[in-house]
Structure 1
Amino acid sequence: MLVSYKWLQDYVKIDDVTPKEIAEKMTRGGIEIDFVHELNQGIKGVVVGYVLSCSQHPNADKLNVCQVDVGEEEPVQIVCGARNIAAGQYVAVAKVGAVLPGNFKIKKAKLRGEVSQGMICSLQELGIESKLVHKDYAEGIYVFSEDVEVGADALAILNLDDTVLELDLTPNRSDCLNMLGVAYEVAALYDRNVELPTIELDTNKEQASDYISVSVENAIDNPYYGATIIKDVKVGPSPLWLQNRLMAAGIRPISNVVDVTNYVLLEYGQPLHAFDYDRFGSKEVVIRRANDGEKMVTLDDAERSLNADHLLITNGKEPMAIAGVMGGATSEVNQETSTILLEAAYFNPSTVRKASRDLGLRSDSSARFEKGVDPARVKVAGERAASLIAELAGGTIVSGVVCADELTVEEQQVALDLERMNDRLGTTIKKTNVEEIFNRLQFSFEENGDHLVVTAPTRRQDIQIEEDLFEEIARLYGYDAIPTTLPEGATTQGVLTRYQEKRRRVRRYLESTGLTQTITYSLTSPKKAEGFATDYPIEKAVRLAMPMSEDRSTMRTSLIPNLFDVLTYNLNRKNSDLHLYEVGSIFTSEEKELTTQPIEREMVAAAFTGMWQEHPWQAEKKPVDFFVVKGIVEGLFAEMGLKDQVKFQQAKLEKMHPGRTAVVVLNDEEIGFIGQVHPTTEKQEDLRETYVFQLDLESILTADVAPVVYESLPRFPAIQRDIALVVHRSVAAGEVEAVIRQTGGKLLKAVHLFDLYQGEHMEEGKKSLAFSLTYLDPEKTLTDEEVTSVHENVLEEIKKQIGATLRA
């Protein structure tokens, strides 16, 4: 909802408060203001000018030389290329020195030899979006249709000195989908009065019932339908003030009749529709459900196929409009229209929602009907529109409103227990303060013992239960004024569980390595829920019973596909070096027909692509590779105290590179995988070379960790021995290292692999692994004999278990 600050002042006096202050107050009061738009985009120096003369440029066929009065002593000469420029027009002129949007400065210039002292502007050049400009001025300059003062500030006349508040409304606050609703809200926040529009109806002596009859087949679908007849209408452009207000609200002006219905829609929140009475086709309005397969052409010139769920406004035979959604092209108001059939109705919200969704038609009218309009405003909105049409289009209102009326207008009554309210809010608000707040909200109330029986006006249909009143009190009292308290209990508040603490350590570690956290949807498409390098077949995926869309119909079985989406999104925007992680849950089920809760498992996953390190000064680049990712995973296990309990085993997994993939084994249990995505999958996902890992976080965080043992710093020197072993290519370095550590005993303190060789000087099918072994005794200085004894034992065990030989 876009709210004009200047328009809002028609209903509540707020000229002493700035738009930004209102935005802050409303946001703190529970209605968030997304943006505060200044319509003046840095413009200055634009005035009203009068074109005294307009002649062909002597050196250019498409240019005109104009003499323009801008309210100064002498006219100025301006060269203009607009096709619609002519003498006798009032136009917007940017004088020399003026500034237009984008910091475009107007200077004195020569165009094909003729001096030009300014610029005659179009609305688009003044910062108004093309989609909001009346079709008559979609091309060319803007010409004022009303008498304006030469030299006056054009920005004020065009409402470009206004400020627009953009409201981000929650579904329950549909009362603020109109200017009066916002006025009531602002008035309550600032304790001011609301001034409602004055409606004056001048009618003739004829009766509307002689022109039209109304018949509703089902009052549940349409409890109220009112038809007003307005004669002798002259359809044309709306006055400038009305066009300005519609454009500020994001609506394009069309004609005075249509603009009035849109204006009242914004003012009262009540959708209306104007039919051309002479083109309507009969003297009866029949509201009925559509027949299956029935067709009609709507105002957007599209033919719609209807069914029995859709409610229609018909002339007794043919459909004229889809109730609450869109009118038909057959009875559209045009320049030849002289008699108007004005509709003001209340339609069942679910019926409108069904039709809007089925037909893919979302309109300002349907959005308001779906959320529920104020039943008390339906008739008065029709009167307001009829009055404005008569005023602005020169029409005559025929007496009486022909209606079918079974609409019940009831105000909701809710009892409020003050003690329970204060207990729930944690406050000590006095009864007098509560009564003052209800007076500001214009909610009537009566005392009933310790309770207040509050009557909510029909515009506030969100007030249904006592907790709704608690919310109203809290937001008007001020959330900042509610004291901060902690729950009372036997234990200290705010302590993380051991599991939560470990999870936080995982996040901090991953972020310390340079990864960025991302959060993605738990809902995904069936294709992405097929699993990624896991043993979860699609049969185990959990589907929603009533998904909003097919892309969000299935619970995810892996975090990796969602990370791919994030990578693709960034790569498409030239962000190529990406290192992302996510901590989240996956969902599976053992049942084909879900009767119990799905199995939820918390996982941690990451995706890497591009450069890992880059030092332009030293001309060093290191792209992400398998060992970068493996090092991060090893560091994670070291951080969690599980380094000695984890192993990496080469594996072949679906959608993963067969030679650069490993499964991660923790305490002999497979908990995840690590590796490069298969090139075919990378191509399908529109990715570059990408590496990923996914681990069962619950297994990591719940694994038993050996207690930390502190040792004193060594006082005696260590001895290092290097060995180069020849083994079969299929032997993993980790297997060799495990044997070395197992055999080395207490004296062996560290083992590091520092070289791998496979080449022409090596026997076919063999490779060389070089390890550095560090021996240390914290109690004494080791002798060569002691180290040699242990070292030779290590070599013998390697030969026995692995079949390795020393490299010559």
Structure 2
Amino acid sequence: MFVSYKWLQDYVDLSGMTATTLSDKITKSGIEVEGVEKKSEGLKGVVIGHVLEREQHPNADKLNKCLVDVGGESPVQIICGAPNVDKGQKVAVATVGAVLPGNFKIKKAKLRGEESNGMICSLQELGIESRLIAKDYATGIFVFPNDVEVGQDALSVLGLDDEVLELGLTPNRSDCLSMLGVAYEVGAILGREVKWPEITKEESAEKATDLIQVNVEASEDNPLYVAKVIKDVKIAPSPLWMQTRLMAAGIRPHNNVVDITNYILLEYGQPLHAFDYDRLGSKELVIRKAHAAEKITTLDDVERELASDHLVITNGTEPVAIAGVMGGANSEVQDDTTTVIIEAAYFAGTVVRKASKDHALRSESSARFEKGVDPNRVREAGERAAQLISQYAGGTVLEGSVEVDTLTIEPAVISITLEKINKLLGTSMSVSEVESIFTRLQFGVSVDNETFTVTVPTRRGDITIEADLVEEAARMYGYDNIPTTLPTGTVTPGHLTDYQQKRRKARRTLEGAGLYQAITYSLTSKNKAVQYALDARESVALAMPMSEERSQLRLSIVPQLLEVVKYNNARQLDSLALYEIGSVFLKQDGEQLPEEREHVAGAMTGLWESNPWQGEKKPVDFYVAKGVLEALFDTLGLIGKIEYRQSEKEGMHPGRTAEVLLNGDVIGFVGQVHPTVQKELDLKETYVFELSFKAMAEAAVAPIQYNAIPRFPSITRDIALVVDATTVAGDIQKIIAEAGGKLLKEVSVFDLYEGERMEPGKKSLAYSLKYFDPERTLTDEDVTKAHEKVLAAVKEKAGAELRG
């Protein structure tokens, strides 16, 4: 809502109050003022000039040489290119030295050899948006009415010396979608009276009922309809002051009748509509629901098809307006209009919103009806419009109104105690202070033993319960005046639990490794629900599923991640790495609700590294997936507790899959998706993992200990062992680590040989062993003694022979 500061002064005394100060007070009272725009900011030196002579420029076809009186000692010559400039006009002139928007300074100049001492301005050149300028002046200069004074400040006459407050209204404050509504608010804030427009009735002897009848068939959607009839209307431009106020509010002027209806909309918050009586085609207005597939051409010259739940105004036969949204072109007020019908009505917000949404017609009228208008202003707004049309369009108002009234809206009456107000706000206001607040808001209030009975005016439809009255008391009392208190007793600062910290670390680690977080559906199909499950149980079915594809709670995250990979691969995203930390749902015997357990899962496919300028490409493989998990285990402090064991799992490659064990217990798996599954999903080579994050996060972890950097050198010994082809390298590594004693610090496998020089059924595994003592330098004798124990252990426990 755009609020003109100068216009607001018509209703509330703002003396001693700048626009900026007022905006601060309104914001502190609960309605945010998003900005204050000074329309003439940066402008100066623009006056009203009188074009005394106009002739063609001798050296240019599209330029005019004008002699203009600007109120100085003598007229000045100005070269103007506007096609509509002419002798006798009153125009806006930027004199030499003037400054226009964009810091454009006017200087003396010569145009095609002729001197120019200023500039005749269009409204666009004075900073007014093109969409707000009347069509007659959309191109060319603006022409003032003849009664303006030459030499007068043009910015003042155009209302550009005003300041406009932009209110950011929430949907419940529809009462401030009008100047009078804002005036009530400001009056309450400042403790000042609100002055209403004076309405005088001058009606002819002829009655409105002689010309028109109103029949409302949809009374629930239109409980009140009032029609005023004005004859002998002369269509012309509206007064300049009215045009400038409309433009300041963001509305484009049209003609006196239409501008007056828009002016009342802004003033009272009550939308009105003007029909051309002679184009109506009948002496009856019928308000009904539209017929299915019925059509109307609206004022924007678009033919629209109506639905049976749209409310329309008709002439008894065909629609002439979509109620509360937009009028029809067939009854539009035009230059030859002489008799108008002014519609002032109360339409239900839901039916207006439905039509507005269906036709994508969001108008100033529909916005107000949707949020709610004051039913007690409907008649008064119609009377005010009739008065202004009589005054500024020379019309004759016919006696009375034609109306249908089935409206039964009563003011809300709410009781609340002083104790409750103070208790909820933490204040110590007195009875008189609270009573003063409600009185300033112009609510009816009576007090009985510290109990307030408040009658809320119908303009404040947002106030219906006690809490609303407390809010009104709080904002008028001043949020800044409400005392600040701290909680009493022991206060525990909030922090993440150990589990939450580990989850956050896990996410950071996986994302740092290059995986993107995915969030997939917990609901899946019956077949996919049990695929790749770590704990094989029956899936949990929904009582009322959306579809078969979303009918079961998942037991594993991997199937959903494979769907994500498939979706992206189909869109030419071939290299992808994803992870998800989410819940799976395990059915419990005898329990209605499943156990919810958190898992971490990932899926990777395509290239892991690609450096084309170096000719390097590394596709994802088992060791990439395992390396990502190693980084995760390291972050969670689980490295020494993790083991891998080759396994076979349905849906996984039999030779490239491993179980992951934590302290000897299986917590998940890592490996390649089975080629058959890859083919079914149209995937390339894809690797996945899924682990019980709950098991990892709840595992006991020793506190971090830091060891000093060794001062003494280490000794490395490499051994190659011949073992059976079925022997697992990890088993041999475990034997070596146990037998090496406290001097053996690291063991790693670095070679596997199964070539033709090995006898059938055998293979060679090579290990690197590092020995050192942090307290002294080891001798060969120390290392040999420990190393011989290692060789003896691998021979005894695994039948391994030292390769010659």
Which whole-Å CA distance do the structure 2 matches of 1:471 and 1:154 have between them?
45
Give the secondary-structure state (helix, strand or coil) at the position aligned to 2:48.
Answer: strand
1:366 is aligned to 366
- Sort the Cα spacing of 1:59 and 1:470 in 2 relative to 1 into closer, same or farther, 3 A: same
1:13 is aligned to 13
Q: Which amino acid aligns with 1:227?
A: A
1:569 is aligned to none
Matches within 5 A, 1:719-734: 719=714, 721=716
CA contact (8 A) 1:542 1:589 kept: no
Matches within 5 A, 1:105-254: 105-254=105-254
RMSD: 5.9
CA contact (8 A) 1:41 1:127 kept: no
1:262-300, CA deviations, whole angstroms, 9 ceiling, x for partnerless residues?
111111111110000111111111111111221111111
- Sort the Cα spacing of 1:635 and 1:153 in 2 relative to 1 into closer, same or farther, 3 A: farther
Which whole-Å CA distance do the structure 2 matches of 1:263 and 1:543 have between them?
54
Give the secondary-structure state (helix, strand or coil) at the position aligned to 2:230.
Answer: strand
Q: Tell whether 2:773 aligns with 1:777.
A: yes
Matches within 5 A, 1:356-435: 356-435=356-435
Which whole-Å CA distance do the structure 1 matches of 2:544 and 2:124 have between them?
49
Matches within 5 A, 1:710-725: 710-711=705-706, 713=708, 716-719=711-714, 721=716
Which whole-Å CA distance do the structure 2 matches of 1:153 and 1:735 have between them?
97
Which whole-Å CA distance do the structure 1 matches of 2:671 and 2:126 have between them?
58
Which whole-Å CA distance do the structure 2 matches of 1:510 and 1:9 have between them?
62
Give the secondary-structure state (helix, strand or coil) at the position aligned to 2:156.
Answer: helix
1:488-535, CA deviations, whole angstroms, 9 ceiling, x for partnerless residues?
56x5244335169628965997899899x99x9999xx9xxx99x999
CA contact (8 A) 2:667 2:692 kept: no
Which whole-Å CA distance do the structure 2 matches of 1:430 and 1:632 have between them?
67
- Report sequence identity in percent: 52
CA contact (8 A) 1:206 1:399 kept: yes
Shift of 1:51: 2.1
Q: Which amino acid aligns with 1:25?
A: K
Query: Between Structure 1 and Structure 2, whose CA radius of gyration is higher?
Result: 2
Shift of 1:449: 3.4
- Sort the Cα spacing of 1:642 and 1:108 in 2 relative to 1 into closer, same or farther, 3 A: farther
2:701 is aligned to 706
1:577 is aligned to none
Q: Which amino acid aligns with 1:309?
A: D
CA contact (8 A) 1:49 1:91 kept: yes
Q: Which amino acid aligns with 1:315?
A: N
CA contact (8 A) 1:233 1:339 kept: yes
Structure 2: segments with no counterpart, 5+ residues: 534-539, 547-556, 566-577, 610-616, 647-657, 673-687, 722-727, 752-764
- Sort the Cα spacing of 1:91 and 1:733 in 2 relative to 1 into closer, same or farther, 3 A: farther
Which whole-Å CA distance do the structure 2 matches of 1:294 and 1:354 have between them?
16
Give the secondary-structure state (helix, strand or coil) at the position aligned to 2:701.
Answer: coil
1:55-111, CA deviations, whole angstroms, 9 ceiling, x for partnerless residues?
222222111222223233343332221111222222222233332222223333332
Which whole-Å CA distance do the structure 2 matches of 1:388 and 1:222 have between them?
26
1:33 is aligned to 33
- Sort the Cα spacing of 1:718 and 1:106 in 2 relative to 1 into closer, same or farther, 3 A: farther
CA contact (8 A) 1:665 1:672 kept: no
CA contact (8 A) 2:513 2:628 kept: no
Q: Which amino acid aligns with 1:495?
A: G
Shift of 1:419: 1.7
1:586-626, CA deviations, whole angstroms, 9 ceiling, x for partnerless residues?
99999xxxx9999898999999xxxx9xxxxxxxxxx9999
1:283 is aligned to 283
Shift of 1:34: 2.3
1:65 is aligned to 65
Give the secondary-structure state (helix, strand or coil) at the position aligned to 2:14.
Answer: coil
1:498 is aligned to 497
Which whole-Å CA distance do the structure 1 matches of 2:93 and 2:603 have between them?
58
- Sort the Cα spacing of 1:733 and 1:68 in 2 relative to 1 into closer, same or farther, 3 A: farther
- Sort the Cα spacing of 1:540 and 1:147 in 2 relative to 1 into closer, same or farther, 3 A: farther
- Sort the Cα spacing of 1:399 and 1:739 in 2 relative to 1 into closer, same or farther, 3 A: farther
The more displaced of 143-152 and 231-240 is 143-152
Which whole-Å CA distance do the structure 2 matches of 1:62 and 1:663 have between them?
87
Q: Which amino acid aligns with 1:167?
A: L
Structure 1 length normalisation: TM-score? 0.75
1:656-713, CA deviations, whole angstroms, 9 ceiling, x for partnerless residues?
xxxxxx9999996569999xxxxxxxxxxxxxxxxxx999997599443513143463
1:157-181, CA deviations, whole angstroms, 9 ceiling, x for partnerless residues?
2222222222222221111111111
Structure 1: segments with no counterpart, 5+ residues: 546-556, 565-580, 613-622, 651-661, 675-692, 727-731, 757-768
Shift of 1:195: 1.2
Give the secondary-structure state (helix, strand or coil) at the position aligned to 1:330.
Answer: helix
Structure 2 length normalisation: TM-score? 0.75
1:310 is aligned to 310
1:729 is aligned to none
1:225-268, CA deviations, whole angstroms, 9 ceiling, x for partnerless residues?
00100111111211111111111111111111111111111111
Which whole-Å CA distance do the structure 2 matches of 1:801 and 1:162 have between them?
97
- Sort the Cα spacing of 1:542 and 1:801 in 2 relative to 1 into closer, same or farther, 3 A: farther
The more displaced of 361-370 and 581-590 is 581-590
CA contact (8 A) 1:641 1:705 kept: no
Give the secondary-structure state (helix, strand or coil) at the position aligned to 2:464.
Answer: coil
CA contact (8 A) 2:171 2:371 kept: yes
Q: Which amino acid aligns with 2:449?
A: G
CA contact (8 A) 1:264 1:381 kept: yes
CA contact (8 A) 1:275 1:333 kept: yes
Which whole-Å CA distance do the structure 1 matches of 2:262 and 2:796 have between them?
90
Which whole-Å CA distance do the structure 1 matches of 2:80 and 2:519 have between them?
54
Give the secondary-structure state (helix, strand or coil) at the position aligned to 1:361.
Answer: coil
Give the secondary-structure state (helix, strand or coil) at the position aligned to 1:301.
Answer: coil
CA contact (8 A) 1:722 1:770 kept: no
Which whole-Å CA distance do the structure 2 matches of 1:21 and 1:770 have between them?
83
Q: How many residues align?
A: 742
Which whole-Å CA distance do the structure 2 matches of 1:784 and 1:771 have between them?
19
